[in-house]
Amino acid sequence: MHALVQGVILGVLTGGVYALMASGQTLIFGIMKVVNLAQGAMVIMGAYLAYQLFVSFGLDPFLAIPITTVVMFGLGVAVQLLFLRPLRRDDKSELSLLVTFAVALLLEGIMSVTWSTTYRSINTSYANSSWTVLGYQITAVRVWAFALSLLALGLLFLLLNRTRFGRAVRATVQNPESARLLGIESDRVAALGFGLGAATAAAAGSVYGLLYPFYSGSHYDLISRLLSIVVLGGLGSVGGAVVAGVIVATSSAVVAATVSPAWSEMTFFAVLILVLLVRPQGLFGTVGRGAI
């Protein structure tokens, strides 16, 4: 029982971080119908940027987030303008899967050259501190990571639901042609939306770098998990990604704690398959138009 509760605590805290990573990816899919295979590489890029700011200037990874998100937002907008917009214009959006995979490889190459391929980790002064609550151990860094993820997701929620840009994004996701007919420029929304997805990856990357050691190839493991979460939550649903992130991370941690860590990785995909058998559109997905 103790192991089960400990697994749930660990899973929920980790799930928040996965939710943040996946929210950007599902947002991009919702707006552009593009499965962004570079999202994992963008998270790792965010982790490297936070690492570099920590090593060079002693800047705490949490405090580095405003800087890394701005940089990655710009990178995301550039990727959309340079590589994805031409596909939309030429009506070849189906090639976006290959293009985003190429972007992932490009980012991996840049990271390998810049930081080599050895594992890095961000060791802050509080990296090893933890609290014991009612007999359960809770590491400080995971609590802060969870809190930061909730804060970032809250800001994303406010952006999508309380701003003019957010209304334009939601409208584009739910009915792109109708959005255009109201004067919403779908190209602009797509570029800014992709930038926003990259910015969430940067925020998540800072946190990821605090929790796990990483290297330039870490994005392969990450992208398979992110895709599971996005599909499970329902393609295009940010709320779905949050719920799915918590579900799969908690299931995985519980299995690791109660059965064996060897089975933990598989839990991601087992949960996905089970849910899709019952709800092929995912937990919060819609059969037709997008939802956000």
Partner 1 sequence: MTAILSLTGVVAGYGAGDILKGVDLTIEKGTITCLIGPNGAGKSTVLKTVSGLLHPREGTVVFDGDEISRLSPKARVQRGIVHVPQERSLFPGMTVTDNLLLGGYLIRDAAVVRSRLEQAWEAFPICRSRAGERAGSLSGGEQKQVELARTLILDPTLILLDEPSIGLDPRSRGIVFESIRTLSASGRTVLLVEQNARSGLAASDFGAVLESGRVRLEATGASLLDDPEVARLYLGAGASAAPSATPPLLAHDDEGMRR
The distance of closest approach from Cβ of residue 185 to partner 1 in the complex, given in angstroms and rounded to an integer, is 6
Counting contacts by CB under 8 A, is residue 185 touching partner 1?
A: yes
- Number of residues lying near partner 1 (CB under 8 A): 19
- Cα of first residue to Cα of last residue in the chain, in angstroms, is 37
Q: Does 289 bind partner 1 (CB under 8 A)?
A: yes
Q: Is 58 in the site for partner 1 (CB under 8 A)?
A: no
- Among residues 174, 269, 276, 281, the one that binds partner 1 under rule CB under 8 A: 174
CA neighbor of 11 nearest in space, from 279, 213, 261 = 261
Cα atoms in the Cβ-side hemisphere of radius 13 Å centred on 101: 7
**What is the crossing angle of helices 39-57 and 96-115, to 10°?**
20
- Indicate the DSSP class of residue 212: S
Stretch that binds partner 1, among 118-126, 180-188, 196-204, 253-261 (CB under 8 A): 180-188
Q: Which is nearer to partner 1, 141 or 169 (CB)?
A: 169
Q: Of 162-170, 199-207, 210-218, 253-261, which segment contacts partner 1 by CB under 8 A?
A: 162-170
Token pair belonging to 32: 């552009």
Give the nearer residue to partner 1 in terms of CB position, either 88 or 167: 167
Q: Is there binding between residue 103 and partner 1 (CB under 8 A)?
A: no
Residue by residue, DSSP assigns 152-184 as: HHHHHHHHHHHSHHHHHHHHHHH-HHHHHHTT-
CB 74 within 8 A of CB 62: no
Interface with partner 1 (CB under 8 A): 164, 167-168, 170-171, 174-175, 177-185, 289, 291-292
